[in-house]
Structure 1
Amino acid sequence: MTSLAGDKKLFFASLISFVTGSMLVYVNCWLSSPPCYVNVYTRIADVENFKVPPGYSARAILRPMKKEEERPLASTPVYTGLIGEKPCECFGAWHRDFFSQKQWIARQRNQEKCLQRYERRQMVLQGVHNYVDGSSPISYPSHGLQVRPLRAVHLNGLRITWFDSKSIVTNAVHTVRLQCENGVFRQLVKVQGVAVQGAHTNDFTIQTSKPQQLNRQLWHIVYQNTEFDTNAFDLVKLHYKKFSITIPVHIRHRLIPWLYDQGQGRVQDRVSVVVKTFLRYSNLRRLVRSVGDLYPGTRIIVADDTPYQKYESFQDENTDHYVMPQFKGFFAGRNLGLSQVTTEYFLYMDDDHYLKPYTKLEILVSLLDRTDYHVVGGVYEDLEMFATTIRVLGDDTHACYEKLRGWYHSIPDFPGCYAVDHTENFFLASTAEVKAIGFDPHLAQSRLGHQEFFTAGLGRLRIAVCRNIIVGHNKTMEGVDIELYQKYRVTDRAYRNMRLKHHLFRDNLTCVGLKYPRNESLAQKVPTIPQQVRERREKEGETFLTDLMEKSHPFHQYVHGQDTE
């Protein structure tokens, strides 16, 4: 019996010793760094060949291989070719071709200085690159933080999400450092057990041994802008242990809208018609009459650079006829007309356009009202191709435009309307946004000017075109002094070269890029086709108008003044 009792005591003593020893080993491993029971490998072969001692377990933590061990992965050229800028392919004249070597050097110097001044004035900010370390314990707002100039903002979401267990056991001090350039950090609440240095400065430090208190203090820290700027970024940098993060803070004035009284909400109350005319008074008379017939009371603004001896007044109750200095040209007239618009939208028409019964401006107004587009165009009755896209191509070596016929995508809820970069000369536009861009009144845009407005609007204006909104195109020249008209409107080589040089300089281009040939008047080849095109356009317009009258059509309520939005 005594021997048996002794064996039991020995057994329990051994068991207690084993358990105690195992716990001590576990605690020692837990407190050490790295833990002794965790084996770190970078190759699968090492893991497979490793033998774990009895009573222990092994865990593999995968770490990146050294740079010399990295192997490049095969990439798909069709996708990698989409990265960065698309190379510019020049198909026409180069900017430098118009100048001697000495003139070109002076031209480049002048152009570079103009470009530098332009870029300094821009309100468009470059993107802020923000890198987030995937293994970082810091949670923070990576973008979207805005503050008004000289105001403050909470750094919402800023906290430490996990803490090292060893630092918790040993009550180690946790230190967070915040830095910025154009502001200071304010401590809204003093949290107990937290030490702060650099309060109300741009170099702010928080120290505490209590993780919970650390996050509580971070919650009550705000960034205040102290250096005024109307549109800029400040970068708030946070350092915690070996981790660093950057929070971009957008400093920006509140944007003030430009609102227009819409009166009774009719097209006549919300749209002004802008027309640039020269000599073609018979055409202008038809345009004015068509607008008055379909939308009586609509204000028409006419800018006229006709020679004074040929001038005829169209001034009446609904038409403001402005006399320009003679021969000033297209874009100068467009600017004059636009400057007098007091409605939310304006409709630009050439003087040889006229509205037809199925030219439903309500559709264009509805599209601008219900979407984020700024400009929406219609279609000429005698032009097959109506949609154009423009791309800016190139790199630091040379740049150009690529202009192609086509569209990007259809616009939801507006059948027959498409997203584009360029329309014809018949378009409805938002007055405030177009005034911010304007029309270049340079002499180079006097006889011929259209695309330059749309290239200036790239990235600033959203453009659409609706193929079912068809405008009449009057090509007759009744009562017009043809010789005088052609003298100031038909272009010659000297004018085209002047226009091209101005265009290349103004848009900071080095050469002419690919341009899809404009759809020529087919009358030069097959005399019967233009009439066929015209008839088909008219039939489409009449069918579209009939559909609009049906209550099943999505635009029916708007067209009949029953729209509630």
Structure 2
Amino acid sequence: MIRHEQNLLFFRKESSKETLLIVNGSVPLSYPAQGVVVAPHEPVYIPGKGVVTRAHDIFPHLCQVQLLSAEFGVLDIAATVPNVNVNGQETTSLTISSTSLSHLNRQLEFVVYISTVFDIDAREYVHFVYMQHKAIIPIIIRVRKPPILYDTGKAGDINDKVTAITKTFKRYSSVRLLLRSIQKYYPRMRVVVADDNKPIEDLQSEHVDHYVMPFASGWFGGRNLAVSQVITPYLLWLDDDFVFTEDTKLEIMAGVLDNSNLDVVSGIAGEMNLVTTRMELIPGKDDDDGYCIHHKSGNYGQVPGFPDCYLTTKVYNFFMGRSDEIRSVGFYPAYSRYADREFYLEALGRLRMAACKGVHIGH
């Protein structure tokens, strides 16, 4: 119980990292409020800084500003400007002064922040001080991530963009019917089958890869195995008792993913209506109260540009998704027999989902 409480407190701490910044509208300073990003151990210019002049302002004989960093880097200048004094170069406290406001502002253009502490994703707050006025400049420290690239083959060929995956257990007759239906409508599409039956029946064929698991390994263990074998940009999740029909138009799903920022798109299975769910976590009143899961039927409105698609946080188990994004969420293998809701809880706030009309599969 103590471990669970510690994990909950750590989760809440990590989930509330955003710092509230209040901007005083009367501050005579120009500065970037967001958008400054630097890789670890590299420098970056801090653009847009300056002391703003107004007609009624009275400036002191000596203008002075100070910039202060906190914990992840130091401040420096890339060039010097005449008639400007600079103190504290390559430290966490940089002071710039001049009798000329224009020279001071020119010097501020050459201020750089240098990351000195390695972190893959952190945030530094640089304090910008002039007289009694203060501003805070957030700087994101982030490692450059390599792109995930896929060979999609011929342009527009659905077979090169999508891999169908399923997990089967004690339903060989159903999964064989599913495989035959895929072969009928998409004969070149690769299918990955994760199988934890006993005894095993061979399902391997030209476009079917059959992966055998220990007996009763579980639904999420099988999903993880199947997803790990996908090498196309999109995957299509199917229950093993689905059947493709002439209305199973995968091109529609792929088209939505191609032309939106969605990560998961679902269709309609069997005689059901379109399934959409509004699901959210409601925190308890005290730190050790945990969360309540609140979900109800409904959606968050239409997807812009796709009037037949509706934003949701939970879809039915007939969906197409971006392979790398689904892999990043994964499937916790402790859920072996029933885990319909757990994946969507893990994906909450991480995957953008929509349910779309116009794509049907038999069930």
Are residue 349 (structure 1) and residue 238 (structure 2) matched? yes
The Cα of 1:393 is off from its aligned counterpart by: 1.2
CA shift in 2, pair 1:166/1:143, >3 Å: closer
Q: 1:327 to 1:449 in 2, by over 3 A?
A: same
Query: Are 1:322 and 2:322 matched, yes or no?
Result: no
**How many Å apart are 1:198 and its aligned residue?**
1.0
Structure in which a larger fraction of residues adopt strand: 2
**Residue 255 of structure 2: SS of its match in structure 1?**
helix
Q: Tell me the equivalent position of 1:184.
A: 74
Tell me how far 1:262 sits from its aligned partner. 0.3
Letter of the structure 1 residue corresponding to residue 4 of structure 2: Q
| 1:415 maps to which of 292, 307, 313 | 307
Q: Select 2:196's aligned residue among 278, 301, 305.
A: 305
Q: Check whether the contact 2:267–2:274 (CA below 8 A) recurs between aligned residues.
A: no
Q: Is structure 2 residue 99 aligned with structure 1 residue 209?
A: yes
Q: Which residue of 2 aligns with 1:375?
A: 264
The alignment status of 1:272 with 2:163, answered yes or no, reads yes
For the residue of structure 2 that corresponds to 1:131, the secondary structure is coil
- Aligned equivalents of 1:175 and 1:287: distance in 2? 74
Could you tell me how far 1:380 is from its partner in structure 2?
1.4
Letter of the 1:417 counterpart: C
Q: CA deviation at 1:401?
A: 1.1
Shift of 1:458: 0.6
Distance 2:305 2:127 in 1: 45
- Say which is worse superposed, 384-393 or 323-332, in terms of deviation: 384-393
Q: Which of these residues, 136, 155, 158, is aligned with residue 46 of structure 2?
A: 155
Partner residue, 1:401: 293
Match of 2:324 in 1: 432
Correspondence 1:354-503 to 2 at 5 A: 354-384=243-273, 386-397=275-286, 398=289, 399-442=291-334, 445-473=335-363
Q: Secondary structure at the match of 2:294?
A: strand
1:255 corresponds in structure 2 to 145
Q: Rg larger in 1 or in 2?
A: 1
Task: Give, in angstroms, the shift of residue 384 of structure 1.
Answer: 3.0
Contact 2:41 2:118 in 1 (8 A): yes
Equivalent runs, 1:64-79 vs 2, <5 Å: none
Cα RMSD of the aligned pairs, angstroms, is 1.8
Whole-Å separation in 2 of the counterparts to 1:125 and 1:393: 14
- Structure 1 CA distance for aligned equivalents of residues 114 and 274 of structure 2: 54
> CA 1:437–1:279 in 2, change beyond 3 Å: closer, same or farther?
same
Q: Which residue of 2 aligns with 1:295?
A: 186
Residue identity in the other structure for 2:140: H
1:225 aligns with 2:225: no
8 Å contact from structure 2 (residues 274, 357) kept in 1: no
Give me the whole-angstrom Cα distance separating, in 2, the residues matched to 1:189 and 1:437.
46
In the alignment of these two chains, the number of paired residues is: 358
How far apart are 1:117 and its partner, in Å?
A: 6.0
Give the partner amino acid of 1:291. Answer: I
TM-score normalised by length of structure 2: 0.94
Moved over 6 A (4+): 163-166
SS at match of 2:215: coil
User: After superposition, what is the alpha-carbon deviation per residue over 1:73-126, rounded to whole angstroms, capped at 9, x for unaligned?
Assistant: xxxxxxxxxxxxxxxxxxxxxxxxxxxxxxxxxx2x120233456678x6x772
Work out whether residues 69 and 127 of structure 2, in 8 Å CA contact, stay in contact via their aligned partners in 1.
yes
Between the aligned partners of 1:385 and 1:189, the Cα distance in structure 2 is 62
Letter of the structure 1 residue corresponding to residue 39 of structure 2: R
C-alpha distance in structure 1 between counterparts of 2:270 and 2:342, whole Å: 24
Deviation at 1:289, TM superposition (A): 0.8
Q: Which runs of 5+ in 1 are unaligned?
A: 1-106, 474-565
Contact 1:385 1:405 survives alignment (8 Å): no
Residue 199 (structure 1) aligned to one of 89, 98, 105: 89
Using the aligned pairs only, state the percent identity.
37
Alpha-carbon distance in 1 for matches of 2:61, 2:343: 64
Specify whether residues 344 and 449 from structure 1 end up closer, same or farther in structure 2 by C-alpha distance, changes over 3 A only: same
Does the C-alpha gap of structure 1 residues 280 and 395 become closer, same or farther in structure 2, counting only changes over 3 Å? same
1:291–1:214 distance in 2 versus 1, CA, 3 Å? same
Which secondary structure does the structure 2 equivalent of 1:175 belong to? strand
Q: Is the Cα contact below 8 Å between 1:284 and 1:351 reproduced in 2? A: yes
Per-residue CA deviations over 1:376-408 (Å, capped at 9, x if unaligned) read 111112223511110111344332111111111
The answer as to whether partners of 1:125 and 1:232 remain within 8 angstroms in 2 is: no
Cα 1:454/1:195, change in 2 over 3 Å: same
Work out the CA distance in 1 between the residues paired with 2:261 and 2:285: 33
SS in 2 for 1:436: helix
Match of 1:243 in 2: 133
- For structure 2, the residue ranges without an aligned partner over 5 or more in a row are none
Looking at structure 2, the residues matched to 296 and 347 of structure 1 have their Cα atoms a distance apart, in angstroms, of 15
Matching of residue 282 in structure 1 with residue 173 in structure 2: yes
Does structure 1 retain, via aligned residues, the 8 Å contact 2:78–2:110?
A: yes
The Cα shift of 1:415 comes to 3.2
- Contact in 2 for aligned 1:130/1:247 (Cα 8 Å): no
- Alignment check: 8 A CA contact 2:239 2:318 kept: yes
- Name the structure 2 match of 1:136: 27
**Structure 1 residues 412 and 136, CA, compared in 2 at 3 Å: closer, same or farther?**
closer
* CA shift digits 1:458-480 (9 cap, x unpaired): 1100011112211100xxxxxxx
Equivalent-residue separation in structure 2 for 1:305 and 1:133 (angstroms): 62
The answer as to whether partners of 1:315 and 1:321 remain within 8 angstroms in 2 is yes
Per-residue deviation, 1:333: 0.9
| Rounded Cα–Cα distance in structure 2 between residues aligned with 1:262 and 1:388 | 32
Contact kept? 1:393, 1:401, Cα under 8 Å: yes
Paired letter, 2:280: R
Structure 2 residue identity aligned to 1:111 = H
